[in-house]
């Protein structure tokens, strides 16, 4: 959001989410669970919320919501790579092909508009793309971290602790970068909705998915993001959608669906001995 800037927007997002989730967690009687795992849930908040939220807010200063959402669909690609390297979840032949296809899609999308020429906000599309991909990498790391170290922890504890951890991490930066001009009422309403609905509520569901479906499959929720984000960008912000962007989006979704195991290529399935 231009009114707040990327750092303050990210900070307010997690602070508001914490204010909503913390009383709920205490009312549900999870004080002891939080006390037992507080270091780990606070750390995952830095990786899974603080850094990615700043990166995404920064990226949106130079690339469209549609482009950002397409890049965000690569989260399962990074999730599969991290799960392979860290958790030993070796991908099948189809998943390896999916990883390659997905990263080709990223390269194609970046090749159209990537430039280091700065805009009025002092950002560039190349740095915006890089920031979006860094956010995706952080999400992939956090998903495997959660699966490995927070298994069995109630999803409400993980969600609350992660937002508290992100808030603590970002608070000093928030105070430092606080805007000189008072943000508008509309900006406050927007960031409040972002914190309550798109962060607090969403993260409860997200950590529950990781616990029940695993990190790779949980990250496939990002497939739905480009569809809605592109539509919102066109309808509400008047953003344009090119055929190249849609084509790259299809390539990326194809790759991510293969890499996450949603479907596989018949000729790459392992043979079953008679």
Q: Which range is most confident: 65-69, 181-185, 254-258?
A: 181-185
Please give the pLDDT value at position 1.
54
Please give the pLDDT value at position 161.
92
- Contact (CB, 8 A) for 74 and 109: no
What digits encode the pLDDT tens for the residues 193-203? 888 887 888 77
Residue 83 resides in a domain: yes
Residue 272 resides in a domain: no
Residue 273 resides in a domain: no
What digits encode the pLDDT tens for the residues 223-250? 666 666 677 677 776 777 778 878 877 8
Which of 130, 201, 195 lies closest to 166 in space, CA to CA? 195
Residue 229 resides in a domain: yes
Residue 241 resides in a domain: yes
**Whether the predicted pLDDT of 36 surpasses 90:** yes
Residue 267 resides in a domain: no
Which of 84, 90, 57, 83 lies closest to 72 in space, CA to CA? 57
Stretch 125-138: mean pLDDT, rounded? 89
Residue 264 resides in a domain: no
**What range does the domain containing 81 cover?**
6-259
Which of 196, 215, 217 lies closest to 260 in space, CA to CA? 217
What digits encode the pLDDT tens for the residues 87-123? 777 767 777 787 788 778 777 877 766 666 666 555 6
Q: Sorting pLDDT into bands at 50, 70 and 90, what band is 271?
A: low
Sign (positive or negative) of CA dihedral 179, 225, 248, 99 = positive
Sign (positive or negative) of CA dihedral 160, 202, 140, 66 = negative
Residue 274 resides in a domain: no
Q: Sorting pLDDT into bands at 50, 70 and 90, what band is 62?
A: confident
The mean predicted confidence, pLDDT, of the chain is 81
**Whether the predicted pLDDT of 141 surpasses 90:** yes
- Contact (CB, 8 A) for 222 and 42: no
Number of domains comprising the chain: 1
Among 44-48, 139-143, 177-181, 238-242, the minimum mean pLDDT is found in 238-242
Buried (b) or exposed (e) across 185-209, using 16+ Cβ within 10 A? eebeebbeebbbeebbeebbebbbb
Model confidence, pTM: 0.79
């Amino acid at each position: 959001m231009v009114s707040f800037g990327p750092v303050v927007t990210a900070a307010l997002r997690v602070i508001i989410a914490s204010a909503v989730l913390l009383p709920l967690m205490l009312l549900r009687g999870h004080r002891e669970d939080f006390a037992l795992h507080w270091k780990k849930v606070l750390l995952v908040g830095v990786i899974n919320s603080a850094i990615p939220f700043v990166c995404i807010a920064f990226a949106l200063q130079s690339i469209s919501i549609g482009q950002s959402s397409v890049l965000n669909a690569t989260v399962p690609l990074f999730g599969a790579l991290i799960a392979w390297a860290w958790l030993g979840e070796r991908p099948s032949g189809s998943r390896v092909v999916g990883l390659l296809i997905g990263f080709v899609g990223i390269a194609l999308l970046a090749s159209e508009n990537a430039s280091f020429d700065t805009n009025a906000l002092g950002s560039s599309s190349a740095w915006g793309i890089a920031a979006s991909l860094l956010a995706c990498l952080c999400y992939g790391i956090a998903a495997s971290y959660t699966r490995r170290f927070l298994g069995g922890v109630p999803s409400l504890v993980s969600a609350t602790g992660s937002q508290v951890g992100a808030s603590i991490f970002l608070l000093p930066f928030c105070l430092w970068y606080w805007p000189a001009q008072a943000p508008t009422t509309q900006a406050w309403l927007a960031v409040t909705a972002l914190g309550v609905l798109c962060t607090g509520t969403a993260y409860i569901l997200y950590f529950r998915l990781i616990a029940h479906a695993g990190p790779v499959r949980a990250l496939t929720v990002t497939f739905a993001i480009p569809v809605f984000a592109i539509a919102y960008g066109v309808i509400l912000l008047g953003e344009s959608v090119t055929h190249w962007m849609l084509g790259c989006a299809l390539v990326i979704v194809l790759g991510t669906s293969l890499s996450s195991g949603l479907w596989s290529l018949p000729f790459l399935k392992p043979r079953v001995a008679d």
